[in-house]
Structure 1
Amino acid sequence: MNKLFIFIFSIAVLFGCQKSDKSYVIHTIGDSTMANKAEKVYPETGWGQVLGNYFDDNVTVANYAVNGRSSKSFKDEGRWQTVLDSIKPGDWVLIQFGHNDEKYKDSTRYTTPYGTYTANLEMYVNEAREKGATPVLLTPIVRRKFGEDGKLEPTHGDYPDAVRKVAEKMNVPLIDMQILTKDWVNNLGDSASKKMYLWVGPTEKYPKERKDDTHLQVEGANNVAKIALREAEKQNLGFVKDIKKDEL
């Protein structure tokens, strides 16, 4: 009986060791709209900060997005190299830049849409693929800027279009956050959308009220994360199998 038990136990261990590890990491790189926020600036919240809440235990979301970074400065500061060093085959990389690439007065961040911005996105895609990861390109989320007609006005120039062109050229999955969040904010309207962005009263950190039409508060960040994941489901991207369906 003891020998039979040992044999069965050995077979179980053998098959257990051969079982493939289903866990993987979704690396997110981008700017302040995606970044993790310190407690002192609450309720400001990046949508990448809450993304991990919507996945099961197979997925770890490693959010490398940082306030104020562009596709250029993120690379130049060595932050992309840190991400590359941690990527394993089977991982994913979500790439969302644009807000700070537009800052033409700042040579450390500015890129041209169909020039250096495009080149940087292509570099991120190629190097992620070389590490065995799957890159996903995202256009920047909209700023909350309503015109006299009660509809959002575009603020990102040619940058979203440049992302779309890179995605098409390189056969990269595209989550068009500029279009998706534009529809979302337009449907909410001028007044209700303030609750998604940083239109908040005085806090200890900010004694004056904030009327910030770029950054999100908690509810807005969660809504943007859900918008991205619903689009990923429509495209049947590989990681959607590990989304907590009841959370969306």
Structure 2
Amino acid sequence: MKVLFSCIFILISIHFYAQEKPTLYLIGDSTMADKKNPEENPEHGWGQMLPELMTNKITIENHAVNGRSTKSFLNEGRWKTIYDQLKPGDFVIIQFGHNDQKINSPDRYTNPFTAYRYNLEKFVNQTREKGATPILMSSIVRRNFNKFGTFVDTHGSYPLVVRMLGKELDVPFIDMQWLTEQLEEKYGEEDSRNLHLHFAPGEVAYYEKRKDDDTHLSKMGATLVATLALKEIAKKDLDLKKYIKNQTLKKQIL
């Protein structure tokens, strides 16, 4: 009798969740996060652009926060907040690395082959526990050209660890390092400045002083990066694909 009631409960739960709109959760750092005053602030996180590129049949909750690593995101209880409300049919995009490599910040730094890897594994396993779908992403690149005009990545072993973990755990993996490296090289050393935040003193009201930021994204850069991520999700035929607008998929970026 207990088995019968358990089966009935599971069927009712599946039916209930099937009627509820799925949620896409984003966890990561400032390159993904929503920025305040978007009408005035030139800086945009790529996750901030997703509502414009996806349908209203999915709810998007951007929990990415400036300055966070896998370690600080866990220690501050930010992951627990998401875990407690995850339900079957939801999605979690996981993208960290920029701040995990901050070796002079003990509250954020993680060794790529130990703590960073195991923190990512925790996100993946606990997402699956709730019947939701994890999607791993490597970090987007920083704009970094050497004196010869050659693009040079700055993230060391962190993207490699995400690739390896994705394969080991059979998790959907989107190689944003590769996609954004191609984007930077396509625009070239000079024009790629427009993907980021480069402004002379007084050029925009939001910044009083000169701004030279090769890590964070302009609205243009954030839109292009978000589009690349979604097109790759569609290319891999992930379940999240059905929530992407057709016009997004038709855009030619690379």
TM-score (norm 2): 0.87
* Residue aligning to 1:228: 229
* Residue aligning to 2:4: none
* Residue aligning to 2:31: 33
1:1-248 correspondence to structure 2 within 5 Å: 20-21=18-19, 23-39=21-37, 42-201=41-200, 202=202, 203-248=204-249
Deviations 1:111-163 (A, max 9, x none): 00111000000000001111111000000000001012312111000000000
Whole-angstrom CA distance in 1 between matches of 2:21 and 2:149: 45
Deviations 1:200-237 (A, max 9, x none): 34344420121100000100000000000111011001
Deviations 1:73-100 (A, max 9, x none): 0000000011112211100000000000
> Contact conserved, 2:94 with 2:136, CA < 8 A, in 1?
yes
**Secondary structure at the counterpart of residue 115 of structure 2:** helix
1:195 CA displacement: 0.7
For structure 2, the residue ranges without an aligned partner over 5 or more in a row are: 1-14, 250-254
For structure 1, the residue ranges without an aligned partner over 5 or more in a row are: 1-16
Report % sequence identity. 46
> Contact conserved, 2:17 with 2:88, CA < 8 A, in 1?
no
Whole-angstrom CA distance in 2 between matches of 1:122 and 1:27: 17
Whole-angstrom CA distance in 2 between matches of 1:193 and 1:200: 13
**Secondary structure at the counterpart of residue 105 of structure 1:** coil
1:60 CA displacement: 1.1
* Alpha-carbon distance change, 165 to 18 in structure 1, aligned in 2, over 3 angstroms: closer
1:194 CA displacement: 0.6
After TM superposition, the runs of 4+ consecutive aligned structure 1 residues lying more than 4 A away are 17-20
**Secondary structure at the counterpart of residue 86 of structure 1:** coil
* Alpha-carbon distance change, 113 to 18 in structure 1, aligned in 2, over 3 angstroms: closer
**Secondary structure at the counterpart of residue 27 of structure 2:** strand
Whole-angstrom CA distance in 2 between matches of 1:154 and 1:20: 42
> What amino acid is the match of 1:30?
G
Whole-angstrom CA distance in 2 between matches of 1:215 and 1:43: 10
Whole-angstrom CA distance in 2 between matches of 1:243 and 1:56: 6
> What amino acid is the match of 1:70?
S
The count of aligned residue pairs is: 232
> Contact conserved, 1:22 with 1:58, CA < 8 A, in 2?
no
Cα RMSD (Å) of the superposition?
1.7
> What amino acid is the match of 2:208?
P
Whole-angstrom CA distance in 2 between matches of 1:30 and 1:200: 26
Deviations 1:10-68 (A, max 9, x none): xxxxxxx9994262111000000000001177110000011121111211110000000
> What amino acid is the match of 1:185?
E
